[in-house]
Structure 1
């Protein structure tokens, strides 16, 4: 009976040691995680997220970025590619003005614009998934400017 107890205890101890901590991102090296942190990414439920709110916001009814925002995204693409991070998800959002169909289309166009700049920085287009959420996921109710945004996510899976 004691042998069974010690075998179970040893197995549980071994399993506990194999579990990854919630802060450790599977598949990303410590160096890659450092690059993400240095670029402003934060750990989120689905992976590492760079919330573009406050960094790259879109003017009302537009999907084109100004030159400074394009330059920042090209540099981000270079940094991620240089760190060996090649899989991203780009999520576009809009404010609440306009129809659902129009906002869905605009959110995808915004995400595609960001993807285009990241590709200009050296990331492969096939490694970047684009999603549009229209006005369905506002950051702040009633704050149109904050909701015209794109988020960049390095997924965990």
Structure 2
């Protein structure tokens, strides 16, 4: 090979590398259509798990799904399994932040119920963190008996108020 042939070969190789780099840089980020499709899938999964859209985002008042026994903050058995399935589904559609709000019934002192509701929220947050939602992206709040879902002093009403609500903030 002559020097001129080697130079041409080198220049062609250099040109091909530059063209390949230029084409690689032209790849576009996800399109608006892909973003809309992901948002629709996320909304579908949230609805399937009982979330409803509110001004703050998607909210799930977990009455009937995630109730606690009297004076308890334990997540075990079927309740825990249901929460694990839900957490995995949320992670699967890109939900990476949540607010977990604990609640209590009207029995006991306000101070005790505030602490109990916070422990309930922490218990749920721990399970959700185990499913892949970053712990630092879970906002935990305890409201005690200050935000009842069911009004009244019957056992049924009190049981509905021993709950945790999940909120997926607007993204």
TM class by shorter-chain length? 0.7 to 0.9
Q: Does 1:124 align with 2:138?
A: no
Provide, for residues 38-70 of structure 1, a one-character-per-residue CA deviation record: whole Å limited to 9, x for no partner: 221111231101110011100110000231111
Counterpart in the other structure of 1:30 = 40
1:132-155 deviations in whole A, cap 9, x for unaligned? 000000111222111000000101
* Alignment partner of 2:163 out of 146, 149, 152: 149
Alignment of 1:106-125 (within 5 A): 106-125=116-135
1:52 aligns with 2:62: yes
CA distance in 2, matches of 1:46, 1:123: 19
* Contact 1:89 1:152 survives alignment (8 Å): yes
The alpha carbon displacement at 1:32 in A equals 1.2
Q: Counterparts of 1:1-157 in structure 2 under 5 Å?
A: 29-142=39-152, 143-156=157-170
TM-score normalised by length of structure 2: 0.73
Structure 1: state its 5+ residue gaps. 1-25
Number of aligned pairs?
Answer: 131
Q: Which moved more, 1:69-78 or 1:103-112?
A: 69-78
The answer to whether the 8 Å contact 1:74/1:119 transfers is no
3-state SS of the aligned residue for 2:68?
A: coil
- State which structure, 1 or 2, has the greater radius of gyration over its C-alpha atoms: 2
Aligned-pair CA distance for 1:106 = 0.3
TM (normalized to structure 1)?
A: 0.79
| Partners of 1:56 and 1:106 in 2: CA distance | 15
Higher helix share: 2
